[in-house]
Amino acid sequence: MNEWISMGLRCMMIWASAPLFAGLDPVFFERLAYWPEVENTLGLVSLAENGNQSVTYQVTFQADWSADTHPEGFPGGAHFSPLIGANHHGNLVIWEPGGLATPGMESMAETGATSLLAGEIQSAIDAETAGDLMQGGAIDSPGDTDFLFQVDRRFPRVTLVTMIAPSPDWFLGVHGLLLFEGGRWLEERTVTLYAYDAGTDSGPEYTSPNMDTQPQEPIARLTESPFDVGGTLVPLGTFRFERVP
Ligand SMILES: [Ca+2]
């Protein structure tokens, strides 16, 4: 197609979508981010706060999991493995409930090791569906840790995970959390964290011996003992995302 006709059609698509900026569909922005030359030509950057600039967030992992919150079988040496994740595009799914754990997710959830998952994230960075590998510290629980990371309009989502340790294949995390909503970067967002089962080990207790699950089962929230406490599903902590000025 003639380059000018192609450009004209894309401009028409954007102008036709202009009223949507009132509602500011974040997915629209993610797609728009693939057309930076058109965006800049039309001056649309000014319609959205910060344009294509990177924005810095601090994430604080507050781990509440303890013998007080989850008394049944609470293990010695309770800790969370090193945080690992990425900022990324909406097309990338690192994990999600109902999906099958990748080898990297299985390794993280069963052993706390991050090298396989880091390799998968690096592949996504090479494919330009993720921006940066994010890594934080391991902590005893209860406890807390924090680190800084950046997002931009092309990679406005965050996936972040940590293993509940010791455990068969249990973990905490967020997947594809969008920090850009309503045309603005969120100032603060706190996510309450419940336990997930990676579906790759069938051990029923924190310290069960290895029981590789064959065939693999979908990732699912754990709704039974030891996370159901007296009929209530009790969270293990929070991720608090705060925009750094
Ligand atoms: Ca396994």
Residue 41's pLDDT is: 33
**Angle, alpha carbons 28-33-38 (nearest 5°):** 100
CA 144 to chain CA mean position, Å: 18
pLDDT digits (tens, 9 = 90+) for 130-158: 999 999 999 999 999 999 999 999 999 99
pLDDT digits (tens, 9 = 90+) for 116-132: 999 999 999 999 999 99
Nearest to 134 by CA among 154, 155, 153: 155
pLDDT digits (tens, 9 = 90+) for 171-229: 999 999 999 999 999 999 999 999 999 999 999 999 999 999 999 999 999 999 999 99
How many Å lie between the centroid of ligand 1 and the Cα of residue 178? 30
pLDDT digits (tens, 9 = 90+) for 63-119: 999 999 999 999 999 999 999 999 999 999 999 999 999 999 999 999 999 999 999
Least confident of 37-41, 74-78, 237-241: 37-41
How many Å lie between the centroid of ligand 1 and the Cα of residue 137? 24
175 with 93: CB under 8 angstroms?
A: yes
pLDDT digits (tens, 9 = 90+) for 12-25: 444 444 444 444 44
With a cut of 90, say whether residue 52 has pLDDT above it. no
How many Å lie between the centroid of ligand 1 and the Cα of residue 81? 17
Top pLDDT among 31 and 186 is at 186
How many Å lie between the centroid of ligand 1 and the Cα of residue 225? 20
Nearest to 86 by CA among 50, 34, 122: 122
How many Å lie between the centroid of ligand 1 and the Cα of residue 227? 21
Q: How far apart are CA 206 and CA 76, in angstroms?
A: 10
How many Å lie between the centroid of ligand 1 and the Cα of residue 199? 8
Q: How far apart are CA 53 and CA 55, in angstroms?
A: 6
How many Å lie between the centroid of ligand 1 and the Cα of residue 203? 10
How many Å lie between the centroid of ligand 1 and the Cα of residue 2? 53
How many Å lie between the centroid of ligand 1 and the Cα of residue 210? 7
Joined tokens for residue 4: 């000018």
Residue 64, helix vs strand vs coil: coil
How many Å lie between the centroid of ligand 1 and the Cα of residue 202? 8
In order of start, what are the domains of the chain with their CATH numbers?
A: 3-47 (no CATH), 55-243 (2.60.40.2130)
Segment holding 185, helix H or strand E: strand 184-185
